[in-house]
Structure 1
Amino acid sequence: MQVLIINESKHSVPRKFIQDWMDAVVVELKKRKVINAEKARRELTLVFLDKKPAQKINNEFRGKDYATDVLSFDSMDPSSFGELVLCPEVLKKQAKEHKLTFQKELGYMLLHGTLHLLGYDHETNEQDAKKMFDLQDAIFERLLRSPA
């Protein structure tokens, strides 16, 4: 998967980690037959925003007036996998709460957003939430055990 990173936040983002992580995510998704080779070749756009613009987008698209960790947007462009909007400030706060490094929290939310782009949803009902989080946690744990 090609990753296009647009950083409009005041925080630096670990570009090499992001590309390496997404490559590993795609390998795991292919193994589990969650993604096919054609979709895996598409471009994923990542946009990093500070809190205020992230809050504005979350309010505009979800009616929730706060900055969130990740938002996923499908694309009409057949060469695009979709777009994830991430807020580093929220991710850093969550990393501390979850006792993870920033990179691990970022990796978890990249995986989370990718699953949303593949049609998984945790807000519809408990069964869908369990299916999504079981897959997400299994892949995350697998990637944490993988050699870097």
Structure 2
Amino acid sequence: MKLYIEVINRQRKIKISLKRVSVTVNKIFNFLYNLQDKNLIKILNKKKYCLSLSISVIFIGNKKMKELNCKYRGKNATTDVLSFVYFENDFSGNLFLGEIFINPERVNYQAKQYNISFWHEITRVLIHGFLHIIGYDHERNRYQTKKMQDVEEKILNYLQS
């Protein structure tokens, strides 16, 4: 299964390697696909005529992220990552999974707080956003939170090895 990744940078405050983001998202997908992750396989089984998948990763600033967070989650604050699920098929057999919006300013702030590298934190939010796209939801209950955290850790450990 092929994953097409579109990476867009709509902010100017923090430099982002779009190629590195694309490679990382592809590694996240391949890890989950090879692991036969139940959520991902469930999507692929529902969309039988799906020949490929695509996803967009968009980097935006604090102001735009705050607007999106307010509009779609009712939270009047910026955040690090928001995911929007679409699951739309086009005529070529491609399934558009959705969009992941990332706020590099917030990610940079968090990286400093956690005393980790900016790239480590970007990777963590990419994983988090991707998992939301394929159906993980840490806001439902404690079991789902633990399940999502466990998968995040597995992927993060894989990417760091």
TM-score (normalizing by structure 1): 0.91
| 1:23 corresponds to which of 19, 23, 26 | 26
| Structure 1 segments of 4+ aligned residues over 3 angstroms from their partners | 36-41
Q: Rate the CA distance shift 1:8–1:45 in 2: closer, same or farther, 3 A.
A: same
Aligned partner letter, 1:102: F
TM-score (normalizing by structure 2): 0.84
The Cα shift of 1:46 comes to 1.1
What is the CA–CA distance in structure 1 between the aligned matches of 2:110 and 2:25, rounded to whole Å?
20
Structure number with greater Rg is: 2
Give the aligned CA root-mean-square deviation in angstroms.
1.8
Identity of aligned residues (%): 29
| 2:84 corresponds to which of 61, 73, 86 | 73
For structure 2, the residue ranges without an aligned partner over 5 or more in a row are 45-49, 90-94
Contact map agreement 1:26 1:40 (CA 8 A) in 2: no
Contact map agreement 2:61 2:104 (CA 8 A) in 1: yes
The Cα shift of 1:48 comes to 1.0
For structure 1, the residue ranges without an aligned partner over 5 or more in a row are none
Q: How does 1:100-139 map to 2 (within 5 A)?
A: 100-139=116-155
The Cα shift of 1:76 comes to 4.9
The Cα shift of 1:13 comes to 1.4
Match of 1:7 in 2: 9
What is the CA–CA distance in structure 2 between the aligned matches of 1:40 and 1:91, rounded to whole Å?
34
